[in-house]
Amino acid sequence: MRKPAALPDTNFILRYLLRDVETQFAEADAFFEEVRSGKAAAQIAESVLVECLYILTKHYHVSRADVAVSLTNLLLYKGIDNSDKRVLTKSLALFAESSLDPVDCILAARAAVAGNPVLTFDKALNKMCTSLAGRI
């Protein structure tokens, strides 16, 4: 029987992706190898995903596209059991291809996947939601 899903925080994910603190990377790598194979389970909180996007792009100056690819790959590990995985992966694709902030990308993806309307005065977000309507 598999243990309940672990909830890695931003720092744990960053050490794994950046490999910048060797002892912490080793621990994170061992855990995520278990998740990759499905021997362990994890859930990536939406708030943690947003914080990872912010820190990687603003502090570490990683491109939006590279961040989106890295985090999408992580979300696709066999042991990631987020019920909203489709929304999160779509939001990362939107983040890579637009200048919208991460929260707006999540709203647009959630609206497109679930068919919910987004109520906004933000013209860029409204344009994105309109362009996605019926495409997903």
Q: What is the pLDDT of residue 2?
A: 61
* Residue 134 reports pLDDT greater than 90: no
**116: its two tokens:** 């919910």
Work out the percent of the chain whose per-residue pLDDT is above 90: 90
CA-to-CA distance for 120 and 13, rounded, in angstroms?
A: 31
- The neighbour count for residue 116, using CB atoms within 10 Å, is 11
Q: What is the pLDDT of residue 136?
A: 57
Q: How far is CA 17 from CA 80, 97, 105, in A?
A: 16, 21, 22
Q: Where are the domains of the chain?
A: 1-82, 85-136
Confidence of residue 3 (pLDDT cuts 50, 70, 90): confident
Per-residue pLDDT of 81-125, as tens digits, reads: 999 999 999 999 999 999 999 999 999 999 999 888 999 999 999
